[in-house]
Amino acid sequence: MFTAGFDPVELGLVTSLSRPGGNVTGISILNVELGPNRLELLHELVPAATVVAFIINPANPNAPSQTREVQAAAGALGIKLHVLHASSGRELEAAFGALGELRAGALLIGSDPFFNSESELLATLARRHAIPTAYQYREFAAAGGLMSYGGSLTDSYRQVGIYAGRILAGAKPGDLPVQQSTKVELIINLATAKALGMSVPLSLLGRADEVIE
């Protein structure tokens, strides 16, 4: 059983979404494909930031496709995008250290399991460098990040629980189609925005699923 924010077919976890085969199935969360949307929301929040940095883990198989999609979105928005690579805590600190020289006015964090495990560090670095940053999951905003936009982990875990019950009752994992959790959440940390001296547009606040104060 898996919960994944990427295409499980593309990465070879299952044969197809409808008939996974083998002894595995799971829940797919909208995440990787939302990179351009996160950039658009970040641009709406920080319209003066014409230079944006994008940190991606080069070890992630989805890194090339994520980068292409975010670069295309940046071009459409008239944003100059600097792509930075990081796959360790030390490299994350180095990437943040380069933001001043790049004159980046905002930062987008790529979708990656390693980044998920470093939500506290990423939020701390963003505060230390006073850089408006957009992340993938609520956990980042809860840790002090400015904004997150991505699939709901709560909803995906609920679906995992349902599948676990069916498997315990005798269903074969390979016969259960991979389900997609389609619930997406926009979380804004208003306390972080105030600390950065930013005002959040009412239009954005009105669309937020949660505002952390």
DSSP string, 170-191: T--GGGSPPEEE--EEEEEEHH
Name the pLDDT band for 152 (thresholds 50, 70, 90). Answer: confident
Does residue 70 register a pLDDT over 80? Answer: yes
CA 91/CA 171 separation, integer angstroms: 44
Bridge partner list, 150:
185
CA atoms within 13 A on the CB side of 131: 29
User: In this predicted model, which residue has the larger pLDDT, 142 or 164?
Assistant: 142
pLDDT at 162: 76
- Per residue in 85-107, pLDDT (tens digit) is 999 999 999 999 999 999 999 99
pTM score, two decimals?
A: 0.83
Count CB atoms within 10 A of the CB of residue 207. 12
Please state, rounded to an integer, the average pLDDT across all residues of the chain: 88
CA 203/CA 213 separation, integer angstroms: 17
Does residue 5 register a pLDDT over 60? Answer: no
C-alpha distance from residue 166 to each of 162, 176, 207 (Å): 7, 9, 36
CA 29/CA 33 separation, integer angstroms: 10
Does residue 10 register a pLDDT over 60? Answer: yes
User: Which CATH code, of 3.20.20.10, 3.20.20.220, 1.10.10.10, 3.40.50.2300, is assigned to 34-151?
Assistant: 3.40.50.2300
User: In this predicted model, which residue has the larger pLDDT, 203 or 7?
Assistant: 203
Mean pLDDT value across residues 13-37? 74
User: Using the 8-state DSSP alphabet, how is residue 178 labeled?
Assistant: P
Does residue 24 register a pLDDT over 80? Answer: no
Name the pLDDT band for 16 (thresholds 50, 70, 90). Answer: low
